[in-house]
Amino acid sequence: MADSRGMVSEALTISSHRQGQPIPKILLMGLRRCGKSSICQVMFHNMQPLDTLYIESTSRPAATVFSSFIDFEVVELPGQTNVTDGWNDDIEKLFIESGALIYVIDSQDEYINSLANLHSIIIHAVQINPQINIEVFIHKVDDLSEDFRLDAQRDITQRVTDELLDDGLLNVPLSFHLTSIFDHSVYEAFSRVVQKKLPQLATLENLLNVVCQHSGIEKAFLFDIKSKIFVATDSSPMDVPTYEICTDFIDITVDMNSLYKIDSQDQNAGAKNTGDDYEPYSSGQEGGKKESKPIGSTTRLSNGLIVHLQQMVKGLALVCLMRKESMPKIALVEYNIEFFRNALEQLQQLA
Amino acid sequence: MAGTARRKLLLMGRSGSGKSSMRSIIFSNYSAFDTRRLGATIDVEHQNLRFLGNMTLSLWDCGGQDAYMDNYFSSQRDNIFQMVEALIFVFDVESKELRKDIETFVLCLRNLYEFSPSARIFALVHKMDLVVVEKRQDVYRALMHSLEDTSAMFSFKVQGFATTIWDESLYKAWSNIVCSLIPNVGIYQKHLQTFAEISEVDEVILFEKTTFLVLSHVTSSKSPGFESDSTRFEKISNIIKQFKQSCNKLRSQFQSLSLRGSDCSAYLDSMTASTMIMVVMANKLVTTGTGSEEAESGVVDLLENDDPFSGEAENNIILANIKIARKMFEKIEHMSLDG
Ligand SMILES: Nc1nc2c(ncn2[C@@H]2O[C@H](COP(=O)(O)OP(=O)(O)OP(=O)(O)O)[C@@H](O)[C@H]2O)c(=O)[nH]1
Ligand SMILES: Nc1nc2c(ncn2[C@@H]2O[C@H](COP(=O)(O)OP(=O)(O)O)[C@@H](O)[C@H]2O)c(=O)[nH]1
Ligand SMILES: [Mg+2]
């Protein structure tokens, strides 16, 4: 465990370079009705996927700030934004400040139009900010069969890269994700987008690797509880069902905990706002709010799998998977998780 | 084994009202989302379910298209309406022909009056999610008012529920329906009460294992104000049922949960072969040392306790108590239902 101490100090030096910068932005673009607002509402405002049917069309840019390990601002641009004509300084400034541009394509619709739109956006975006990551969400794939999804992804990837090639643009940082708000795919895709922009990612991954190696944990994720974005995971391979069980376990932990919250002031008993109170549990400064215990929970499955959740600093939770067989190392697991928490706290103070 | 008690439940209502959806969610592990794939039910679909050891629920899901309906009230009349333990009539709140639905309901009552006069009558005012929140209560009250009057004419007492597959209201309705058919419910309640008193916990809830319907619950008079959410029991059903589906995706089954929450600790585990128990304790401000010594000596081994995170002595006492109570509850589960 001595070497992992070294990693913390390494992280400290990395993160100290990041002080005093503006909140990094993530741009969300796409044609009308492609699902941009739905993604924002479901991920950051606890909306049920089906309720998105009633969302009104977006006509002006909307911004949501969310704090995971560091703060991000997600800016949604309305579908009719025309980057070629109505080009203005504001959008230029946005492109400069944005680390990533998510472009949403409605896979259930004819996507030829959106590909043309995407193409012109990429051309402009990389001119202004060559560093910007272009993240294409091939969205609403819930109604497509597995085969169709892969076909759509292959086809879209091909068309987009071919066209960029024709323009002589070879090194655009471009990724494609299949997403739907009805399952975990949009969370996973968003997590990947955020992670690329996290300067502390390598440090966090290293810390998680150390924790896993030394305590018989199979897989560990560091999640942002509220958005269920995972900020980092250890470097062991990740499969979707494992990831899904972890996000679902966050849900049930949060839901069960809010059912058994004891209201000291009974007045606001009726107002059931769930999820809004996963701010830093140690926020003693925010006078008035009582200090509550960090949440922890554990579930056992019939195949010997154990999922363990431990709330960390700043609305983050460590969720790890282990086997019944690794039981003897439990004291170690708890010790290492505590160690991880301390490391996080140090990182956080510098972020 | 002595003969099992069979309870016949009739599911009636217009086509598309949501009968098969709710049946699939409660008894066949569908998610609310999955129900979009259900086709119209052809004639009557029978589903027999083991419930609590020695009871069989026989669900008659009666397809609601007019052609089938006409049959139920003519040629199939005695077959359908004989030996009915409960009628569950589903009303679609969005129905354009509410009058016709009520007429069908009355026809059901008339036939039950003749063939199964002791049947229990449940009316579910369903798809409530489609009504704006402020109007839900009014819509529900208005319909129930007319149903109560008509039921009284056949000397039936109708029990109503406002439901939707999109929240826990479905679990509340079905817990009530199923519990009304279990003669032992009072005995479960009594023993759960004793359990809560002896183990000095703040709340205990007993669930059926596969459906996660609430069988019984006890809240200590000393409980520190859980009352704020009176729907918490069916909410737990809903939450755990969804989690069970995630576990199924891993081709595994949910076994237990222990939560160390911000204000309370909760522990959920198997009680008997067909029940699960959840125990809730408020977090103590000062940790008490008493009792931990006995608990730590032996009890852990005795339980073959392999929950790695039940470090707290208090948890171990609870586990020991559950273990002791298990025998008692197994006995109730196997008691003859006909006696
Ligand atoms: N919005 C909403 N839709 C629901 C609800 N319950 C069921 N549905 C939908 O209603 C449709 C019809 O449901 P079914 O369960 O097949 O209806 P049914 O009563 O069995 O119909 P028949 O078998 O023809 O008698 C499905 O697409 C369900 O998803 C609900 O509570 N709210
Ligand atoms: N099937 C499906 N529909 C979606 C998904 N995401 C959004 N939608 C629907 O697409 C429609 C348009 O979404 P909206 O967010 O308003 O699009 P915007 O104009 O890009 O902001 C809504 O009716 C959503 O319910 C998805 O993942 N799958
Ligand atoms: Mg049906």
**Hunting for tokens 């502390």 — which residue is that?**
A200
Type and span of the H or E element at A28: strand A25-30
Report whether A235 contacts A205 (CB < 8 A).
yes
Contact B174, B187 (CB under 8 A): no
Cα dist from B151 to B97, B108, B138, whole Å: 19, 10, 20
Shared domain for A257 and A132, answered yes or no, is no
What burial letters (b/e) apply to A286-302, b meaning 16+ CB within 10 Å? eeeeeebebbbbbbbbe
Q: What is the pLDDT of residues B157-198, one digit of tens each?
A: 999 999 999 999 999 999 999 999 988 889 999 999 999 988
Q: Which two tokens stand for residue A275?
A: 């999820």
User: What's the pLDDT score for residue B296?
Assistant: 37
At CB < 8 Å, which residues of chain B contact A? 33, 166, 224-226, 228-229, 232, 235-236, 239-240, 242-243, 246-247, 249-264, 266, 280, 282-283, 306-309, 311
Ligand lying nearest the CA atom of residue A142: 2
Average pLDDT over residues B68-80: 93
- The side-by-side arrangement of strands in the sheet containing B120-126 is B44-51, B55-62, B5-12, B86-92, B120-126, B158-162
- Interchain proximity A252–B225, CB inside 8 Å: no
Q: Using CA atoms, how far apart are residues B186 and A72, in angstroms rounded to an integer?
A: 55
Given this model, what pLDDT does residue A264 score? Answer: 58
CA angle A40, A45, A51 (to 5 degrees): 80
- Residue A18: per-residue pLDDT: 39
Backbone Cα Rg of chain A: 21
The answer to whether A267 touches A233, Cβ cutoff 8 Å, is no
Domain boundary among the residues A196, A213, A229 is at A196
| Best CA proximity match to B88, nearest among B111, B105, B63, B113 | B105
Question: From CA B337, how far away is CA B300, in angstroms rounded?
Answer: 36
Ordered by start, the domain boundaries in chain B are 5-179, 185-334
pLDDT digits (tens, 9 = 90+) for A261-317: 876 544 444 444 444 444 444 333 333 344 567 889 999 999 999 999 999 877 899
| pLDDT (tens digit per residue) in A187-218 | 999 999 999 988 889 999 999 999 888 888 89
Q: Whose CA is nearest to atom 12 of ligand 1?
A: B16
A159 and A190 part of one domain: yes
Range of the domain at A303: 201-263+275-350
CATH of the domain at A108: 3.40.50.300
> Alpha-carbon distance A279 to A276, whole Å?
7
Q: Tell me: do A167 and A47 sit in the same domain.
A: yes
Mean pLDDT of chain A: 80
Q: CA A228: distance to chain centroid?
A: 6
| Nearest C-alpha neighbor of B243 from the set B219, B259, B231, B230 | B259
Q: For the stretch A237-274, what's the b/e string if a residue is b when 16 or more beta carbons lie within 10 angstroms of its beta carbon?
A: eeeeebbbbbbbbbbbbbbbbbbbbbeeeeeeeeeeee
Is 90 exceeded by the pLDDT of residue B240? yes
Apex CA B52: angle with CA B46 and CA B55, to 5°? 50
In chain B, the DSSP E strands lie at 5-12, 44-51, 55-62, 86-92, 120-126, 158-162, 203-208, 214-219, 254-260, 264-272, 275-282
At residue B298, does pLDDT exceed 50? no
pLDDT grade for B334, boundaries at 50, 70 and 90? confident
Structural tokens at position A19: 């002080």
For residues A171 and A229, membership in a common domain is answered with no
Please say whether the beta carbons of B89 and B124 come within 8 A. yes
Number of domains in chain A: 2
Query: In DSSP terms, which residues pair with A151 in a beta bridge?
Result: none
- Least CA distance to A50: which residue of chain B? B33
Last residue of a domain, one of A149, A177, A196: A196
In a shared domain, residues A107 and A36: yes
Spatial contact of B122 and B13, defined as CB atoms under 8 Å apart: no
Give per-residue pLDDT as tens, A223-268. Answer: 999 888 999 999 998 888 889 999 999 999 999 999 988 765 444 4
Q: What angle do CA B212, B85, B160 make, to 5 degrees?
A: 65
Q: Do the Cβ atoms of A259 and B243 come within 8 Å? A: no
Reduce the DSSP state of residue B155 to 3 states and report it.
Answer: coil
Q: Does residue A231 belong to any structural domain of this protein?
A: yes
Domain boundary (A196, A212, A227) is at: A196
Q: What band does B302 get if pLDDT is binned at 50, 70 and 90? A: very low
User: Both A45 and A185 in a single domain?
Assistant: yes
Residues A101 and A188 in one domain: yes
Closest residue by Cα to atom 22, ligand 2, is A53
- Region A139-143 average pLDDT: 91
Overall average pLDDT of the B85-92 stretch: 96
Q: Residue A157 — pLDDT band, cuts 50, 70, 90? A: very high
State mean pLDDT over A82-86. Answer: 58
Positive or negative torsion for Cα A246, A248, A251, A253: negative
Q: Quick one: which of A304, A314, A315, A308 has its CA closest to A337?
A: A308
Tell me: pLDDT of A351 over 70: no
Judge: B243–A248 Cβ closer than 8 Å, yes or no.
Answer: yes
**Mean pLDDT of the A335-343 span:** 88
Pick the CATH number of B5-179 from 3.10.310.70, 3.30.70.141, 3.40.50.300, 3.50.50.60: 3.40.50.300
Based on the domain organization, do A189 and A322 belong to the same domain?
Answer: no
> Do A133 and A241 have their domain in common?
no
Q: Please report the DSSP string for A148-164 in residue order.
A: HHHHHHHHHHHHHHHHH
Half-sphere exposure of B285 (CA within 13 A, CB side): 3
Taking an 8 Å cut-off on Cβ atoms, the answer to whether A256 and B239 are in contact is: yes
Residue A146: helix, strand or coil by DSSP? Answer: helix
Mean pLDDT computed over B125-130: 96
Question: Is A89 inside a domain boundary?
Answer: yes
Helix (H) or strand (E) holding A127, with range, is helix A112-128
Q: What is the pLDDT of residue A64?
A: 84
- Confirm if B219 and B233 have CB atoms less than 8 A apart: no
Residue A69 in domain = yes
Q: Tell me which residue has tokens 């009530």.
A: B176
- Which two tokens mark A101? 């541009």
Same domain, A190 and A205: no
CATH topology of domain B185-334: Beta-Lactamase (3.30.450)
Chain segment B97-124, per-residue pLDDT in tens: 999 999 999 999 999 999 999 999 999 9
Same domain, A303 and A168: no
Question: Percentage of chain B with pLDDT > 90?
Answer: 63
CATH of the domain at A259: 3.30.450.190
CA distance A244 to A249: 8
Q: Tell whether the model's pLDDT for residue B310 goes beyond 70.
A: no
d(CA A196, nearest CA chain B) in Å: 28
Lowest-confidence pick of A18-22, A325-329, B11-15, B87-91: A18-22
Spatial separation of the C-alpha atoms in residues A262 and A195, rounded to whole Å: 36
Report phi then psi at A285, rounded to 5. Answer: -65, -40
CB B260 within 8 A of CB B229: no
A166 and A35 together in one domain: yes
CA-based nearest residue to A1, from A233, A347, A350, A335:
A335
- Between the CA of residue B207 and those of A61, A215, B217, what are the distances in Å? 48, 35, 9
Residue A1 falls inside a structural domain: no
Asked if the structure places residue A15 within a domain, the reply is: no
Q: Quick one: closest CA in A to B251, which residue?
A: A303
Q: Decide if A5 is inside a domain.
A: no
Tell me which ligand sits closest to the C-alpha of residue B15: 1
The reply to whether A270 falls in a domain is: no
Sign, CA dihedral B63-B69-B74-B75, equals negative
- In a domain, residue A113? The reply is yes
